[in-house]
Structure 1
Amino acid sequence: MSLLIKHAIVVFMAFFAIMNPIANTTVFAGLSGDRNKLEKTKIALKALTITFIIILLFALLGKSIFHLFGITLPALRIAGGVIVFLVGYHMLQGANSKLHTSQSDENSDIAVSPMAVPLLAGPGTIATAMSYSAAGGWAEAIVTIVVFAILCVITFFCFISSSKILSIVGKSGLDIITRLMGLILAVIGVQMMIVGVQAAMHSPLLN
């Protein structure tokens, strides 16, 4: 198996766990309320388009941001790992992380907030995108972006089919999925921190 394929699989699992399309489908269904199917489709499309643009910018400009602020890749991996772990930990408890919740009122554009930010393009998603896209060359960055685009399409279809999905999964099924995604996220977060610490220990700055 080539390195790019392995990279794509790892990135997909990380993004899938942190975005959790099934769990966020329940949030989408609750926020969209009694709107008709056309309105729900427009909200879902707008939310995921904004989400993709945000992640695209951070994935492409990750290295530039590093140089601008003097950030090293090991530092991002450690910080990103902590964020991802905390999100996963809260999901393991059967609760939404405070990093991925937001208060909204009836007059706000729910596609922008809280759907796009912070539910879909939250700190964990951004840190994951920057970490994996900056870990290699342009090939890894492109793979990261393509994988995230595929996940956005999957999430879009989950959102527009929210009623059917919720009737099939049920509350118990949703709790199981949330905890499973939380476990995967927690492990990914720890792995990111381990890689970051190992890289930092071999950094010329410490020698």
Structure 2
Amino acid sequence: MLPLGLRLLEGRPALLGSALADNPAAAIVPIGVPLMAGPGTISLVVAEAPSAWTGRRLVSLVIGAIAMGLYLFLQFTPRLRGWLGQTRERVLQRLMGLLITAVAVQILVNGLKGCFPILA
């Protein structure tokens, strides 16, 4: 995660392999992939699911609404990309790189504090 964030901050392409970099059709959504429904999100929903069926139905309805919203957002991204233009897209790319790098550094710091309590 840290190398990807640093690549985005430097303005380099997010694609890491030379075969992927040569293919303009290859795409990656660095901030969306790990945050949409990662293992932590799924574990939290399973662990905190209400025991009553009405609560479970409500949670399922919310998950479905979020999934539909994400689907619609991702369907409109080509139009959004055209509206943003190349300069604004690069600015957003660097901001996302900064965000990814900050999250990666925070995870690293938390891990070091856990391993070496004297650092805390």
Task: Give the alignment's TM-score, normalised by structure 1.
Answer: 0.36
Amino acid in the other structure paired with 2:6: Y
Aligned position for 1:173? 88
CA contact (8 A) 2:15 2:21 kept: no
**Correspondences of 1:111-190 after superposition (within 5 Å):** 119-120=28-29, 125=34, 129-130=38-39, 138-139=47-48, 150=66, 153-154=69-70, 156-190=71-105
The residue that corresponds to 1:92 in the other structure is: 9
**1:177 offset after TM fit, Å?**
0.3
Paired AA for residue 100 in structure 2: L
- Equivalent pairs counted in the alignment come to 98
Higher share of residues assigned helix: 1
Structure 2 unaligned spans of 5+: 49-61
Quote the Cα distance in structure 2 between the aligned partners of 1:120 and 1:171.
17
Provide the C-alpha distance between the structure 2 equivalents of 1:92 and 1:152, rounded to a whole number of angstroms: 31
Q: In the TM superposition, what is the alpha-carbon distance from 1:85 to its structure 2 partner?
A: 1.6
Letter in 2 for 1:102: L
1:194 CA displacement: 0.6
Return the structure number with greater relative CO, CA threshold 8 A, min gap 6: 2
Q: Specify whether residues 120 and 175 from structure 1 end up closer, same or farther in structure 2 by C-alpha distance, changes over 3 A only.
A: closer
Structure-2 separation of matches of 1:197 and 1:190: 10
State the distance in 2 between where 1:183 and 1:171 align: 18
After superposition, the Cα gap between the structure-2 partners of 1:179 and 1:152, relative to the gap in structure 1 and judged at 3 Å, is: farther
Whole-angstrom CA distance in 2 between matches of 1:187 and 1:97: 20
The answer for the alignment partner of 1:195 in structure 2 is: 110
Q: Which amino acid is 1:171 matched to? A: Q
Calculate percent identity across the aligned residue pairs: 16
Give structure 1 stretches of 5+ with no counterpart: 1-83, 140-145, 203-207
Seen in structure 2, the aligned counterparts of structure 1 residues 160 and 94 have a Cα distance that, compared at 3 Å, is same
RMSD: 4.1
Alpha-carbon offset, residue 130 of structure 1 = 4.0
Deviation at 1:164, TM superposition (A): 2.4
